């Protein structure tokens, strides 16, 4: 039996943070009911399409049920309230106050179901001067200093390639707090309101920068620090065939072996990072990537060639581990690899095929 078997979740969220959160919970056995407006989750219309819906929607909403509900309609809301009385968890990601105006805020539904764990995912939290500001992932990273740490060689910040706020600071903390909320309910019999702020949750990911700033007033700068490009031990080097190596021999034993293998042991005691970086860059640039990967194979030097996402999905290591072995069937019958989630195998269903719902597929059954 999966750990969340029998847990019923009402998912009022759209797009990414909430749906990723409830995807993880569904993978662990929860019964997730996605409540969509009549026109459906905006993500359904994204490109590329895979049948009726976008591939993004299908990847994020497999294994869930879908019902259509106009939350402004009193009759429909009464039917939703009947579901709330039976639910264990609500996940929503509207701006603060929206669910209250719909009559579905925490205080209102707590009267219907005092044991309900109510999770609100927002950009800046339920309170504070920014709570009503419209923003997206990059904006949260910008306001918390994260984008500022990722400047390129010209000193200009780069567009982040990963939706860190939505996922690492939104969906994942929501899952963690929902599980804690359910555990606390086991002990007290009472539900709770979880205020998950994506901006707040970005700060723990920059723990080292906060520590340097608080302890020694050494607030980190882009390109100058150990992990932002300031060290030759944590650096990207270009090869002669215009490919790139990620070199991270941070510890002395790795650093020493790395320099021995590239034929530059004299650099080990040189205390001029800029000069060392330039020297290593010239050495790496003299040979193609294949030369270096062959040279470093089997060596403890913490070097890896930078590959594309497509190449990574075909890598023998991830194939052997079965990272992409689970499959997804869309509502149109198309089959593709399912999005991997970070749940360990003991918590997953033995059924390796899941289906994403068509819009309103379960409305008649559930309402």
Whole-number pLDDT of residue 99: 97
pLDDT at 349 over 80: yes
Average pLDDT over residues 23-41: 97
Own/partner pairs for 207-214, CB < 8 Å, 24+ apart?
209/145, 209/149
Whole-number pLDDT of residue 197: 98
Q: CA 141 to CA 208: how far, in whole Å?
A: 16
Domains of the chain: 8-198+321-366 (3.40.50.10540), 235-311 (3.30.1540.10)
pLDDT at 152 over 90: no
Report in angstroms the alpha-carbon separations of 275 from 270, 271, 278, 279: 8, 9, 5, 6
Average pLDDT over residues 58-64: 97
Whole-number pLDDT of residue 154: 82
Whole-number pLDDT of residue 155: 82
Single out the catalytic residue among 27, 31, 41, 166: 166
Whole-number pLDDT of residue 153: 74
Whole-number pLDDT of residue 359: 97
Average pLDDT over residues 251-265: 97
Q: CA 102 to CA 78: how far, in whole Å?
A: 12
Helix (H) or strand (E) holding 328: strand 327-329
Tens digits of per-residue pLDDT, 97-135? Answer: 999 999 999 999 999 999 999 999 999 999 999 999 999
166 is catalytic: yes
Rounded to the nearest integer, the mean pLDDT of the chain is 96
Instruction: Give the pairing type, strands 53-54 and 65-68.
Output: unpaired
Q: CA 361 to CA 155: how far, in whole Å?
A: 50
């Amino acid at each position: 039996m999966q750990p969340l078997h029998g847990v019923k979740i009402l998912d009022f969220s759209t797009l990414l943070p909430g749906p990723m959160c409830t995807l993880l919970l569904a993978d662990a056995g929860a019964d997730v009911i996605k409540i969509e407006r009549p026109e459906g989750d905006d993500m359904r219309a994204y490109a590329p399409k895979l049948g009726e819906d976008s591939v993004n929607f299908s990847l994020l909403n497999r294994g869930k049920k879908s019902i259509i509900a106009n939350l402004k309609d009193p009759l429909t809301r009464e039917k939703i309230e009947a579901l709330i009385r039976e639910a264990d968890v609500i996940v929503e990601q509207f701006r603060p106050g929206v669910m209250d105006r719909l009559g579905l805020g925490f205080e209102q539904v707590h009267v219907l179901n005092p044991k309900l764990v109510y999770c609100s995912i927002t950009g800046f939290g339920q309170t504070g001067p920014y709570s009503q500001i419209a923003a997206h992932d990059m904006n949260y990273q910008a306001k918390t200093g994260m984008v500022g740490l990722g400047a390129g060689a010209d000193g200009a910040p780069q567009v982040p390639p990963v939706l860190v706020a939505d996922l690492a600071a939104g969906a994942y903390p929501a899952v963690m707090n929902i599980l804690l909320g359910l555990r606390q309910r086991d002990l007290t019999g009472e539900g709770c309101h979880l205020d998950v702020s994506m901006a707040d949750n970005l700060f723990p990911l920059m723990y080292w920068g906060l520590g340097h700033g608080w302890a020694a007033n050494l607030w980190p700068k882009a390109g100058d620090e150990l992990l932002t490009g300031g060290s030759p031990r944590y650096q990207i080097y270009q090869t002669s065939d215009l490919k790139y190596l990620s070199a991270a021999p941070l510890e002395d034993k790795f650093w020493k072996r790395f320099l021995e293998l590239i034929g530059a042991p004299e650099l080990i005691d040189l205390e001029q990072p800029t000069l060392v970086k330039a020297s290593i860059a010239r050495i790496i640039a003299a040979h193609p990537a294949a030369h270096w990967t062959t040279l470093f194979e089997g060596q403890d030097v913490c070097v890896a060639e930078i590959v594309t996402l497509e190449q990574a999905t075909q890598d023998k290591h991830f194939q052997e581990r079965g990272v992409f072995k689970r499959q997804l069937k869309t509502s149109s019958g198309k089959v593709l690899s399912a999005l991997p989630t970070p749940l360990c195998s003991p918590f997953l269903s033995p059924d390796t095929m899941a289906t994403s719902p068509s819009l309103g597929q379960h409305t008649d059954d559930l309402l």
